[in-house]
Amino acid sequence: MKKENNNSNIIEINELNKWYGDFHALKNINLKIKEGEIVVVCGPSGSGKSTLIRCVNFLEKFQEGEIIVNGTQLTDDVAKIRSIRSEVAMVFQHFNLFPHLSIIDNLTLAPIWVHNEGKDEAREKALKLLDRVGIKDQADKYPNQLSGGQQQRVAIARSLCTSPKIMLFDEPTSALDPEMISEVLDVMIELAKEGITMICVTHEMGFARKVAQRIIFMDEGQIVEENDPETFFHHPESDRLKLFLDQILTH
Amino acid sequence: MPTFELQEQRKAPISQVGIVRWLRDNLFSSWASIGLTLFSLYLLYLIFPPMLDWMIFSANFNFGTVDIFGLEIKFSEEMATNANCGREAACWPYIYEKFYMYIYGFYPRAESWRVDIVYALTAMLFVMVRVLRNFTHKNKAFLVMFIIFPFASFYLISGGVFGLEHIETHRWGGLMLTLVIASVGILFSFPIGILLALGRQSNLKVISLFSTIYIEFIRALPLITILFMASFVLPMFFSEGMNFDKLLRALIAITLFQAAYFAEVVRGGLQAIPTGQYEAADAIGLNYFQKNALIVLPQALKISIPNLVGSSISLFKDSVLVLIIGLMDILAMVNMTSNDPYWLGRETEGFIFVTIVMWVFLYSMSRYSKKLEIRFSTDHKN
């Protein structure tokens, strides 16, 4: 019955509330994201943007409201959570590569163990993906031998390995040296062109302007304003967003 | 206009390197340090010359004619006896005479080849681990080896199958028994320890509570108490006629004891793994067992290697405590053999011999741990 409404919305978040102990981290979040849409979430630190996208693949539990991903409602059910996680991939701020495994093993882990693919098949696919992010020649090295930018590109390749429908990016460039940010953003822009659904928490306003179809501004655990990039940057409605844009764009 | 010229690297000044520099830095850097150095040298002078004299220069090496693998080496006309051996210095013929007791205990001489095979298998295990390192299916091979090895060793030593004479455990003794106790204790308590450590970290409150209580209870007890419990108190609960092997009881006690210590060591490793690793494992869809087996434990155990080996070394040393419940391990053999009326009063030689044997084993373990650490390192930090 609900499925009909969800057809165009791959993610649907209704009346989401989350607390850390007594702290009200997310307040009445309502958000609908269409398949293939590219959404950038921005806002000052502590505004709940990371918490929001971490709720989408259930890395964070929430107390009230509902999240429906690809027609499946998130509950405590372990099997459901795992099935959602195989469709929702996540890229972290600190890459979170597995340091005891080589790059290629980092990539083939989920296909082999979660999706029961053959070793050779998984390896071939992984090498293709590494080629796509431009680090095929590093396949047999270990994560700590790579630069930050390369590590983040490996992390992106790793999350693509399971052919996810949705990609979540949690400040993917915040931990990088300025010189390496663009190489990661380039990969993300390439991805955006391919029609994968992306939710991206980032402070890279240039990236947001270039690829986002919608930008969401959060503060104090609430969605303050959401708009297309043009309106967002040039005709902000709320004073809070005006102030925020003032602070980040003057430098 | 300023230009950039790369300057050549130079060698460090001569005063920064070499032995003189080392001596000055480490032994003679201040008056206090000079004093301590001289005092230490004096102590060494007091201890070492008499010790070496006792152990080697004045010691008695009259073994008679020794047959080493068919090669006959003549040390003296006749083997020394306790009477003509002298009391001022070591009498090593005593060790030579009692060597069998120290290594095999009361194991029948005709069957001692079975124990020798187990020693050889153990040595082979270490060689195989090296040889198979680059083998494609090495993990499966190792698993099979480590499952077969304990059973093969047990049936070889114990017998009762394939026409081998059954040797009851009260006839096991010496170094063999020490090694059996230590290796069984380490091998079996290790997986239990890992489970307890994971249990203590578990989100399921009942499991976490059980693990915590178990670990804290065992760690608050001395091993001797647990051994006494297993040896004397436990049989009281069993019905009459139910004969539970004494060695088996000791092994269970030691395994349960050591598991608690391993659990704490592994927990230390688990806590060093950043939350990001758990989150990444969750995010790519691994389940609980895959997450621990593929991501968390390999990293946690690697960090724990020095402490795991340290804990194993402690267990090896503690295993000599079984002599108080009447098991005849290598240390018990000292009293046993020097109570022999013919070799009365040779405890000192015995203790020194046991010290050397123990040191060789424990130091090898410690070196091996260092090697493992280097081999499993994937830090690749410059």
Three-state secondary structure readout of B56-124: HHCCECCEEEEEECCEEEEEEEEECCCCCCCCCCCEHHHHHHHHHHHHHECCCHHHHHHHHHHHHHHHH
The answer as to whether B177 is a domain residue is yes
The predicted pLDDT at position B380 comes to 58
| Spatial distance between the Cα atoms of A189 and A173, rounded to a whole number of angstroms | 13
Is 50 exceeded by the pLDDT of residue B114?
yes
Instruction: Tell whether B293 is covered by a domain.
Output: yes
Residues 153-212 of A with CB under 8 A from B: 158-159, 162
| Minimum Cα–Cα distance from A86: chain B residue | B285
Please tell me the distance from the alpha carbon of residue B312 to that of residue B114, in angstroms, as a whole number: 26
For the cut 60, the answer to whether the pLDDT of residue A7 exceeds it is no
Mean pLDDT of the A231-250 span: 86
> In the predicted model, what is the mean pLDDT of residues B139-155?
83
- B9 lies in some domain: no
In chain A, the residue whose alpha carbon lies closest to the alpha carbon of B303 is: A100
Whether the Cβ atoms of residue A62 and residue A18 lie closer than 8 Å to each other: yes
Chain segment B244-270, per-residue pLDDT in tens: 788 888 898 999 999 999 999 999 999
Tell me the two tokens of residue A240: 């809070």
In a domain, B267, yes or no: yes
Nearest CB among B285, B290, B381 relative to A86 is that of B285
Please, what sign has the CA dihedral across residues A181, A186, A187, A191?
positive
- Of A201, A203, A176, A217, nearest to A55 by C-alpha is A201
Cα of first residue to Cα of last residue in chain B, in angstroms, is: 37
Q: What is the pLDDT of residues B224-243, one digit of tens each?
A: 999 888 888 877 777 666 66
Q: Which range is least confidently modeled, A182-196, A210-224, B63-77?
A: B63-77
Indicate the pLDDT class of residue A103, thresholds 50, 70 and 90.
very high
Find the residue in A nearest to B378 (Cα): A100
pLDDT of A90 higher than 80: yes
Q: What is the pLDDT of residue B243?
A: 65
pLDDT for the residue numbered A198: 92
Contact A118, A73 (CB under 8 A): no
**Looking at residue B319, which CATH number applies to its domain?**
1.10.3720.10
CB-nearest to B285 from A82, A97, A144 is A82
* Contact residues, chain B, for A97 at CB < 8 Å: 280
CA of B277 vs chain A CAs: smallest distance (Å): 6
Domain of residue B249: give its range. 100-107+167-379
Provide, rounded to the nearest whole percent, the portion of chain A with pLDDT above 90: 32
C-alpha–C-alpha distance, residues B82 and B94, integer Å: 8
State the Rg of chain B over Cα: 27
Residue corresponding to tokens 């996208």: A53
> Which has the closest alpha carbon to B330: B310, B309, B356?
B356
In a domain, B155, yes or no: no
Tell me what percent of the residues of chain A surpass a pLDDT of 70: 97
Between B171 and B36, residue with greater pLDDT: B36
pLDDT at A50 over 60: yes
Please count the structural domains in chain B: 1
Which residues of B make CB contacts under 8 Å with A? Answer: 274, 276-277, 279-287, 290, 294-295, 298-299, 302, 378-381
Residues in chain A within 8 Å Cβ distance of B299: 98-100
pLDDT of res. B165 = 79
Interface touch A100/B379, C-beta < 8 Å: no
CA distance A223 to chain B (A): 25
Per-residue model confidence as pLDDT tens digits over B39-53: 999 999 999 998 888
What is the pLDDT averaged over residues A236-250? 85
B379: which chain A residues are within 8 Å (Cβ-Cβ)? 99, 144
Contact status of A145 with chain B (Cβ, < 8 Å): yes
Q: What share of chain A is helix, strand, coil (3-state, %, to 5)?
A: 40, 25, 35
**A96–B277: do the CB atoms touch at under 8 Å?**
yes
| Coil, helix or strand at residue B137 | coil
Has residue B328 got a pLDDT over 80? yes
**A127 inside 8 A of chain B by CB:** no
Give chain A positions within 8 Å (CB) of B381. 144
**Does residue B82 form part of some domain?**
no
Q: Which residues of B touch A159 (CB under 8 A)?
A: 283-284
**Residue B291 predicted with pLDDT over 80:** yes
Range list of H helices, chain A: 3-6, 49-56, 78-85, 103-113, 119-132, 148-160, 178-193, 205-211, 229-234, 239-249
Label the pairing between strands A166-170 and A88-91.
parallel
**Distance between CA atoms of residues B13 and B11, nearest Å:** 6
Least-confidence region, from A77-81, A98-102, A176-180, B71-75: B71-75
The CA distance from B80 to the nearest CA of chain A, in Å, is: 59
β pairing state of A38-42 and A197-201: parallel
Q: Which band of pLDDT confidence, cut at 50, 70 and 90, is reported for residue B75?
A: confident
Give the model confidence (pLDDT) of B188-204 as tens digits: 999 999 999 999 988 88
Average pLDDT over residues B112-141: 82
Counted residue by residue, chain B has a size of 382
In a domain, B294, yes or no: yes
What's the rounded mean pLDDT across residues A114-137?
A: 90
Q: Report yes or no: A45 at the B interface, CB cutoff 8 Å.
A: no
CA atoms within 13 A on the CB side of B54: 10
pLDDT band at B292, cuts 50/70/90? Answer: very high
Band of the pLDDT at B56, cuts 50, 70, 90?
confident
- pLDDT value, residue A5: 46
Question: What is the value of pTM for the model shown?
Answer: 0.83
Taking the C-alpha atoms of residue B211 and residue B270, their distance in angstroms, rounded to an integer, is: 15
More confident residue, A107 or B65: A107
User: What whole-number distance in Å separates Cα of residue B26 and Cα of residue B48?
Assistant: 22
* Contact with chain B for residue A222, Cβ under 8 A: no
Q: Which of A82, A92, A114 sits opposite B280 (nearest CB)?
A: A92
The CA distance from A233 to A214, in Å, is 11
A122, pLDDT greater than 80:
yes
- With a cut of 80, say whether residue B175 has pLDDT above it: yes
Query: Do strands A23-34 and A9-20 pair parallel, antiparallel, or not at all (unpaired)?
Result: antiparallel
Residue B164 scores a pLDDT above 80:
no
pLDDT at B91 over 90: no
Calculate what percentage of chain B has a pLDDT beyond 90. Answer: 26
Comparing A1-15, A45-59, A154-168, B331-345, the range with the smallest average pLDDT is A1-15
* pLDDT at A44 > cutoff 70: yes
Q: How far is CA A180 from CA A102, A173, A184, B81, in A?
A: 21, 8, 7, 81
Q: Closest Cα to residue B117, out of B152, B82, B84, B76?
A: B152
Within a domain: B305: yes
In the structure, what pLDDT confidence band is assigned to residue B118 with cuts at 50, 70 and 90?
A: confident
What confidence score (pLDDT) does residue B279 get? 92
* Low-confidence winner among B1-15, B97-111, B223-237 (lowest mean pLDDT): B1-15
Q: Can you tell me the distance from the alpha carbon of A143 to that of B117, in angstroms, rounded to the nearest whole number?
A: 44
